[in-house]
Amino acid sequence: MSVNRKKAVVLGAGFAGLWIARRLLKEGFEVEVLEKRSQPGGLMETVSRNGFLFDVGPHILLASHLDHYRGILGEEPVPVVPGFYGFGYQGMQILSPLTPGNLFRTLGPGRALPFAASMAWHKLPFIRPRPPWDNTDELITARFGKRVNRALFQEYVPKVTGLPSTEVSPDWFLERHRFYKEHSLGKQLLRRALQSMRNLILPGRQEAGKGLQLYYPRRGAQMLTDTMFSEISRQAARVLLNAQVTGIHAGRGRVEAVTYETEDRQSRQAQGDLFVSTLPVTHLAGLFSGEGLGAEAQRASGALAWRRLWLFYLSVRQERVSDKIQIYFTEKKHLFKRIYEPKNLLSDMGPRGETALCVEVCYNDEDAIDRSDEQAVFQNVKKGVCEFYLLRPEQVELLFSRRVPYAYAVYRKGYEKHLSRIASALFSFDNFVSYGRQGSYRYNYLVDRIIDASEAVMQYVTANEGKAKTLREPRAKSDFF
């Protein structure tokens, strides 16, 4: 594909859409971006309320792409030290990662010993389940043992996925485990210690350690998308807000145009040579017309599901309630599955003498939580928060709540087959790419992984060799479809 003055149409102006638009501009494309909301940024949104800055989820930035973040922001992101994570269990905060040492430090010898013994027992090669694992329950047992699985995962997994862990693909845990490894403070310190020893032994090869370091924009994650939006607008990209995509028109193995509806309900078309979608991939079968994606892709779309998220933003009259960026709540008695404390990312995220919490509750469309009103769910949330952090009810106030659709891809066992069927239907359209968290149906997709996937997309676009040669075959775990 020649990129000289070719036009690219990007569907969605979240981080993935804005980032790929930025990359396409650098390659000489004329770029048009369609976004259904009245502001760009998608889930990378920062809200200011009562002196606090809240993000729709903590978008951690890793050192591996620090140069990219510097290039976007025009300044150095603020280091986050230390980046602690934890598991809430019986009123205690178990430090992540789940190691015997962290269990003993939190639970004490009496409670920790059975967990550690179970972990050691299931490490034995003739005991532990071996791959290929059938489900997440088997994989977690192999990794941590039955006791840890029962205590910390068997009630947590249904909160997140809406399914028992025996019905969830092992991919769910594999993606999370990669996250834990990347965010392990212990591994970071070990790498730095080994690098220091190497520098002492080989003084002629002094180099900085490559251990993990977390960063955050000083005014919240939305700084990234706001800055990219301004940058690509200055470079003559056409970004249309309040533009809802209503159809994708294909013919002769190519996408020819997309139809969108403007704020005043006018129907318009955007034509181009290349189309990059960050919309939920499960929606594409319903949007394609002309050749369409076929009945099989329609059925596959209906077999895949998204978990929704209800975020409750609370102010607390106390300087901090924890030293953890985020805590995963493992017990069924707590309605919420995770709480993150913005001031443990950056102290400037809130005023002195007060802190704030973002409490995450997962639900499905039309379930009991979905049908509940805000105050009813908040009272349940508040009770659990006060109980766990030992707070008085008068210390906790609801500032606002936010519902997030398509928050998590649900990896029900067998989801790969359905996703690959959609990928197969898109395979013949060499000028159409679906990528990003929602565009590739990823459960745990950090900003750095979106950047990595965008590089794969750009290599494909500039090589002009087609999906058959680049991807060889449609797969559920491709960087793009």
Within the chain, which residues score under 50 in pLDDT? 1-3, 182-186, 188-189, 192, 196, 203-211
Asked if 401 and 312 count as a contact pair (C-beta separation under 8 A), the reply is: yes
Three-state SS annotation for 315-328: EECCCCCCCCCEEE
pLDDT at 191: 52
pLDDT at 200: 55
What is the Cα–Cα distance from 473 to 393, expressed in whole angstroms? 56
Asked if 342 and 55 count as a contact pair (C-beta separation under 8 A), the reply is: yes
Same topology between domain 7-43+222-304+413-470 and domain 46-58+306-408: no
Asked if 396 and 314 count as a contact pair (C-beta separation under 8 A), the reply is: yes
CATH code of the domain made up of 7-43+222-304+413-470: 3.50.50.60
pLDDT at 250: 94
Query: For the chain, which residues make up each domain, given as ranges?
Result: 7-43+222-304+413-470, 46-58+306-408, 98-182
pLDDT tens per residue across span 256-295: 999 999 999 999 999 999 999 999 999 999 999 877 899 9
pLDDT at 124: 81
Q: What tokens appear for 443 in the block?
A: 């459960």
Non-local CB neighbours of 415 within 8 Å, separated by 6+ positions: 169, 171, 303, 304, 409, 441, 476
* 200 CB-contact burial (10 Å; exposed 0-12 / middle 13-18 / buried 19+): exposed
CATH of 46-58+306-408, one of 2.170.260.10, 3.90.660.20, 3.40.960.10, 3.10.450.50: 3.90.660.20
pLDDT at 81: 61
pLDDT at 57: 76
pTM for the structure as a whole: 0.90
The widest CA-to-CA distance across the chain, in whole angstroms, is 70
pLDDT tens per residue across span 33-62: 999 999 999 999 999 999 999 998 778 888
Q: What tokens appear for 333 in the block?
A: 């008695």
pLDDT at 181: 53
pLDDT at 189: 47
**AA identity, residue 61:** L
pLDDT at 201: 58
pLDDT at 198: 56
